[in-house]
Every structure is written in C-alpha cells, then in structure tokens.
Amino acid sequence: MSGALIFIQEDLEISDLEIQVLAGMLHLCALPSSLVAGRTSDYIGRRYTIILASFAFLLGTVLMGYGASYLILMIGNCILGIGVGFALVVASVYSAEISPPSSRGFFTSLPQVSLNIGLLLGYMANYFFEKLSLRLGWRMMVAVPSIPSLVLIILMLKLVESPRWLVMQGRVGEARKVLFLVSNTKEEAENRLREIKGVVGIDENCTLDIVEVPKRTSSGEGALKELFCNASPSVRRMLIAAIGLHLFLRIGGSGGIYLYSPRVFQRTGITNKSKLMLATVGMGVSKVVSSLISMFLSDKFGRRILLLISATGVVVSLLGLGFCLSIVEHSKEKVVWASSFTIILTYFFVGFMSIGIGPVTWVYSSEILPLRFRAQGLGLCVVLNRITTVIVVTSFISIYKAITMGGIFFLFAAINAFALWFYYTLPETKGRLLEDMETVFEKKSKLESNLQ
C-alpha cells in the first residue's frame, strides 16, 4: 500500500494526518483478531483459520479497490487488518508445527519470504499501474492482491492440518498420517508423535487412533491465565524472549520506513512518481534476496547469529541514513552523493532487516512457546507487534516533521542498538524439537544474569 498512498492522497485530497490514520487503521484492526486468533485456531484448526484470514484479505482488497471515498477505504483497510491479525499468528504456528526440526527454520521462514515476494510484485505492479489514470491507477494497486488471496483459499483446502493440533483434539491416527508426510523418515515421524503425545498428556505407548485428551489441553481454557500467573521460570523466559523480539521488530522503525519509503526517496530529490515507484521496486528486490538468504542460513548457522548480524547492519545503515538525510535537508543545493547514498542505504537497511530480524522474529517466537500456549502466546506477541506498528506508522510523518527526517533515523538507530544487546542474550534454538524448548530456557538467560 506504500506506493498507493501518495496517489490516494492526491486523488481524494486528504491531509497527512488522514493518511497516517488510514495507514494505522490496518494495524489497529489487526489487534482484536490477533487476540482471538490463538483461541480460534485452537478451536477450528490452523488450516481453517488461515482460510478465514484469506477471506478477509479478499473482501478487504476488493472493497478498497472500489474506494469510492475515504470512508470506504477505511472500512476496507479495517477488514484487511482483521485478516492480517489472524494470518500473522497462525501462519508461523502452522509452519513451525508441520516442519521437521532439521529444517524448521527454512519452512517457518517461508511465510516471510512469500510476503516479501508479494511486496516485490506489488511494487512492480505499482510501477506499471502508475502509468494509468490517477483514479484508476491506485485502485488497481490496492485491488490486485485479491487474486493471491483467492488462490490461497483454494490451496489451503488441499493442504494437511497441523499434526500437533490434531493430537490436541485426540485425533492421533490423523496426526500420524500427517507426520509420515512431513517427516524425513518413518522413525522421525514416530518420535515426533511420541513427543507430542507426551506434551499433550496422552500415554506415549497408546496406539489408539482416537483418544480422550485432558480438557485443559484440548480446549485451551485458562491458557493465558496459566501463562501469566502460574508459568514456570523457563516459560516466563520464553515469553519475554518472544515479546521482546516482536517489540524491537516494529519499534525499530521498519514498518514506518517500508510504508513511507516514497517520502524518504522524495527527500533525495526524486519528484517523478514513476521513478519513485521504480525506487521502491529496488527495495522489494533487496527484501526478497535477503529473506531467501535467511531461509537457507537459519538452519545452518542458527537464529541468534542471524539476529546479531542483522541488527549490526541495521544500526550502521540507519546511522548512515540519518547522516546523509541531515546533509540533504540542511543543504541549499542538491548534494548528489548524499542523495545517492540515501537510496543505497535504504536498500541496505531493508536487506539487513530481511536477513535476520524480520524472518527470525517469527521463526523464533513460533518455535519456543510450549504447545499448550503456542497459538495464544504468539497471539499476544502479534498484538504487541500491531500496537507498536500503529504507533510508528501513525506518528512517523509527525515525528520527522518535528525532528527532521535525519533525526528520526538517528532515533531508530538508537533503538536498534539496544535491540542488538537484547538479541545477544537469547539462547540458540536451531535443530531442537519444539517439545524440548523448555529445557533450552531452563538456565537463566544472559539478560537475567546481566540484570542481577
């Protein structure tokens, strides 16, 4: 939607404040669906919750494409946000729960890679649709994503359900069949099934296809209360790690920079709208290439090392952006080298963000939480993710007008420097079974040790 905003503002003649509210509406409406996504997926399954989210995507994008007024855009964006809330929670959970431990980082990164490919295609579509009339061009930009939403609905109907969710419902026979399909060997499938049954509370030696599951595990009642009030120290450490990752992912400025990148490029002297759209295509290429690299490296080098490399690169890129934009803004004449480096450093920022912090946040948070808390715990993380995103996207323009564009990048650099220290305190999780994560977090983290 980032490319469409400048055309929407021109066509509907709305203010910067209204643009910020429109951009924030998607994330604001994602809050309630994020809160209920975990409970919904525990009740109807991971697969059907993703289908539900896809219907919201389809309806929201079609309505925004109609876009007869600012109010219609707000309603369409809100419906789209409801779908985002469901999808952000369940897509990562589903990917983590069907993946074998040896390649879980690869498969759990796929939703983020797919998202980035979708963004790149969107940037490319924006470049071509910009050549249409003003009224038609931006409507095509926001309506075309309805096509992949429809495709996703059709494909999800043919995919398998999460084996862990099936076991939680007592459908052990179905879970066994799914595990045979998604595991490398039959022995691995049996071992995974045995571990899952043990966590759920089913006798590991039970051979029945349909079994009765303890109510607490199958219904999820009281899961949030147990998570906050009666959780063990290791589970609390997991929750702090997951929440911290999502907090720094968004408060570090990524959402605002992605959404308002055309305004950043305008600061460099690019005023032609076609060239602005082309510049965002380069940003999309950087995101896709980096996320693909991350997908293949996550299981080889681990989550933690990618986070540290990513955060270091992000801080350096943001400092460079702050420096270059400060020169551009305070110079009476165009400073070509500073303008050029601003574009290059934006691509570097996007690349470093997409190689670690972006995808690893979702991989790590979806794999560390215990099965009985996973969907609802990740739902809480997504709620925080959306709240911080709303704050960033609805205040980005106001903040850079108050402290300059260069100033806001220096601010984001400071936040990401603190995030770098937080990532250093996290334990490595690559190659571990989901059911073993409590053991990984039994020892005090480096964060706790440093604080004490």
- Give per-residue pLDDT as tens, 149-173: 999 999 999 888 988 889 888 888 8
Q: Is residue 221 scored above 70 in pLDDT?
A: no
Which of 51-60, 285-294, 334-343 has the least mean pLDDT? 334-343
Structure tokens at 160: 């398998």
Q: Is residue 25 scored above 80 in pLDDT?
A: yes
Domains and CATH numbers, the chain: 2-162+222-447 (1.20.1250.20), 163-216 (no CATH)
Query: According to the model, what pLDDT value does residue 445 have?
Result: 53
| Integer angstrom CA distances of residue 133 from 136, 188, 262, 297 | 5, 57, 19, 44
Question: Which of the four pLDDT bands, split at 50, 70 and 90, describes residue 245?
Answer: very high
Average pLDDT of the segment spanning 102-125: 79
Query: According to the model, what pLDDT value does residue 219 have?
Result: 45
Q: What is the pLDDT of residues 390-415, one digit of tens each?
A: 888 888 888 888 898 889 999 999 99
Average pLDDT of the segment spanning 46-58: 93
Average pLDDT of the segment spanning 170-189: 87
Q: Is residue 137 scored above 90 in pLDDT?
A: no
Structure tokens at 90: 């369940």
Query: According to the model, what pLDDT value does residue 214 have?
Result: 66
Q: Is residue 143 scored above 50 in pLDDT?
A: yes
| Integer angstrom CA distances of residue 34 from 88, 99, 152, 322 | 8, 23, 20, 34
Q: Is residue 378 scored above 50 in pLDDT?
A: yes
Query: According to the model, what pLDDT value does residue 37 have?
Result: 85
Higher-pLDDT residue of 233, 155: 155
Share of the chain above pLDDT 90, in %: 18
Question: Which of the four pLDDT bands, split at 50, 70 and 90, describes residue 451?
Answer: very low
* Most confident residue range from 89-93, 115-119, 183-187, 350-354: 350-354
| Integer angstrom CA distances of residue 13 from 10, 20, 69, 442 | 5, 14, 11, 56
Query: According to the model, what pLDDT value does residue 228 have?
Result: 65
First to last CA, the chain: 45
Average pLDDT of the segment spanning 172-178: 89
Measuring CA to CA, which residue among 255, 270, 263, 254 is closest to residue 318?
A: 254
